[in-house]
Copies of this chain bind each other. A is one copy, B any other.
Amino acid sequence: MRKKKNTLTITQVAQEAGVSVQTVSRVMNNYEYVADGTRQHVQEVIKRLGYRPSGIARSLASRRSYTLGLVTSDLSDPFFALVAAGAEVEASRNNYFCILSSTERNLDDEARYVRMLTERFVEGIFLARPSTIYDDDHLAELIANGLPVVTTAYHLPASNLMVVDVDNVEGGYQAVAHLTRLGHRDIAMITGPMAYKSARDRLEGYCKALAEHSILYEEARVVVTDGWHYEDGYNAMNRLLLQPVSFTALFAQSDEMAIGAIRALKEAGKHVPADVSVIGYNDLDVSTYYDPPLTTIFQPKREIGVLGVQLLIQAIEHPGSVKGEFLLKTHLVERESCRRLE
């Protein structure tokens, strides 16, 4: 469909104001070297006519789009929703736009999206999604292409690839160290799928904390799930209860899984924290109001989005000035789901 559009162009403003288009352009862009009188007059005409420049024409001429691609795996995951929220706010604060692309369905889509985004106007891409094993040819292609890319949970040496994430090794360590501090030694764990870097990192933190206290790693105490959700934690706990091992504490790698696990424990007649102490990971809103209020590891979610966009913009406006990996710190949030072992 052919849009008639508000065909009010810079040329008409120039005519109406009796100046050249260039002068109008200069006024629009707050250039120096334009007489105060001229400026005011032009501004007045712009206002009177209600002139709005075309961002597209502007982009074409200036070769700048001020647009970022925000590729997120799934907004239904509160973690990524908050990362996205942080990213958008920071972008907007810097007068950038965010084009949203969720790759919910399958990761092959990501390649398609990224291609469409670059065909379009994007000056940089923020990949906010968990890292699993997947085809990253398109990522390599982008990077080779020189487009600044910020990603969570990934590794690939390249000058214009930046990683921003949570320090999950440290986070896992904090969780388990808290448990050991409370006197626990038989500590079970429900992990996310091993395809996820975050799951492997938290596992590493778990092992590190155990090692520090000379606690043997007991495979039967660790259950790997297919996902990170309530039902995964619920099912995992039911499996765990079948194992011929005892445990006085549980580290669930997500608050969702912690809650699912607690539900399974309750159904099995076990009390939290009386019989089993449970610590989660992420710090959801609901965790404060769960029964019992969930002790957990807080992750700075919005901050990831904010920092990611800051890095991206920095890389766009000053190529080569930033690179590397940026890990944000987690911290313990004590509530009532863990107790000291007498």
Contact = CB atoms under 8 A, between A and B. Distances in A.
B81 A76 contact: yes
Interface stretch (A190-198, A242-250, A282-290): A282-290
Interface string A98-138: 11111011000000010110111101000000000000000
A113 B284 CA distance: 29
A183 interface: no
Contacts of A291: 263, 266, 290-291
A55 B120 CA distance: 4
Interface string A36-68: 000000000000000011111101100111010
Interface string A284-315: 11101111000000000000000000000000
Contacts of A21: none
A75 B65 contact: no
A70 interface: yes
B85 A74 contact: yes
Name which of A115, A116, A120 has the most chain B CB atoms within 10 A of its CB: A120
A319 interface: yes
Interface string A1-20: 11101100000000000000
Given A75-B82, A81-B76, A89-B104, A119 B289 contact: no
A236 interface: no
A94 interface: no
Contacts of A2: 63
26 contacts: A1-B318, A5-B63, A54-B60, A55-B120, A56-B59, A56-B60, A56-B65, A60-B60, A74-B85, A75-B81, A76-B82, A76-B85, A89-B104, A89-B105, A92-B102, A92-B113, A97-B100, A97-B120, A99-B100, A100-B100, A230-B289, A256-B285, A260-B289, A263-B289, A290-B290, A291-B291
Interface of A: 1-3, 5-6, 52-57, 59-60, 63-65, 67, 70, 74-76, 78, 81-82, 84-85, 88-89, 92, 97-102, 104-105, 113, 115-116, 118-121, 123, 145, 229-230, 234, 256, 259-260, 263, 266, 284-286, 288-291, 316-319
